[in-house]
Amino acid sequence: MSTLPGLIWGVLGAFALLSVWTKNSCGQEASKEPTNLAASKPGEVLTNSIGMKLALIPSGSFTMGSPVNEPGRSKYENQVEVTISKSFYLGVTEVTQGQWTSVMGTTPWKGKGFAKEGSDYPATNVSWDDSIAFCKKLSEKEGKTYRLPTEAEWEYACRAGSTSAYSFGNDAIQLSEFDWWGGFGDGNAKTEKYAHSVGQKLANRFGLYDMHGNVAEWCSNWNGLYFEGGRDPQGAKSGEIRVLRGGSWISAAVACRSAFCGGGAPDDRGGNIGFRIALQTSSEDPSSEEIKAQQR
Ligand SMILES: [Ca+2]
């Protein structure tokens, strides 16, 4: 599909999306990797070979999903207890156009509507398949395993210890301090209908930027009907829709909540769709088999 599906997804927001798509399921010097990753501390940030900064996300447990009284909640946001057993690194920003081009040598957003060009703007018009190809190529370049986060890892990282609708609390009035949203509604992207340069707004407690909006982000797993709890849940084993997490510059505030789950076909692309990548801290990657299968 082209730009349109992604835009439609964002415009309609939580409710239309859920009714249509959740029926199936929901560096400069690189490589200066820390010499002892096992000793890494929360708050640590590494910079990889393409200048991408990744923050250490500590292992821990959290409640995934939203409480039944959360405004804008959908029934697909069932609450489950989740343990993230291994710390991992996660990009502090969405993958940028500069980072994308340095790895892939292409410019998928060029000439597309609702897209600004520049090295610090997020890479958009990239499909789930494209994001996997990016991870595979960067992994080969550095000899490490880069991957998409699972949706459980994504929500854990987004919440950063919070239990509220957003990482900063329950009041959407603060959303513009943290992200770009509402381009076709009453958000701060209303007069600037495009994905903005990454990292301009406030970060969450893990030091992650643009988790609630700007571009919606591909996650590794298929979109299941309900959230899966337990230890390192990998999400639905099959499906037709891949998970997109976080809202985008188009989305209504309710679709920017931490628990909101969207999705798209693996070849969907849009001006409001991008991704950020994860890097495991050790070979004990709980999702390594799944990731290896994706990168074959
Ligand atoms: Ca985002």
On the question of pLDDT at 19 being above 70, the answer is no
| Å from CA of 80 to ligand 1 middle | 23
The stretch 244-269 carries a mean pLDDT of: 98
| Å from CA of 153 to ligand 1 middle | 14
Nearby residues for ligand 1 (ion, Cβ within 5 Å): 210, 214, 246
| Å from CA of 184 to ligand 1 middle | 17
Give the pLDDT confidence of 72-116 residue by residue, as tens digits.
999 999 999 999 999 999 999 999 999 999 999 999 999 998 999
Give the pLDDT confidence of 157-184 residue by residue, as tens digits.
999 999 999 999 999 999 999 999 999 9
Residues 4-295: name the CATH superfamily. paralog of FGE (formylglycine-generating enzyme) (3.90.1580.10)
On the question of pLDDT at 30 being above 60, the answer is no
| Å from CA of 285 to ligand 1 middle | 24
pTM comes to 0.86
On the question of pLDDT at 121 being above 90, the answer is yes
| Å from CA of 94 to ligand 1 middle | 6
Q: Would you state the pLDDT for residue 295? A: 64
| Å from CA of 216 to ligand 1 middle | 5
| Å from CA of 174 to ligand 1 middle | 16
On the question of pLDDT at 127 being above 70, the answer is yes
| Å from CA of 250 to ligand 1 middle | 11
Give domain limits for the chain: 4-295
Instruction: Measure the CA–CA gap between 195 and 7, rounded to whole angstroms.
Output: 12
| Å from CA of 249 to ligand 1 middle | 9
The stretch 253-275 carries a mean pLDDT of: 97
Average pLDDT, rounded, for the chain = 86
| Å from CA of 162 to ligand 1 middle | 17
* Better-predicted residue by pLDDT, 37 or 31: 37
Q: Would you state the pLDDT for residue 38? A: 41
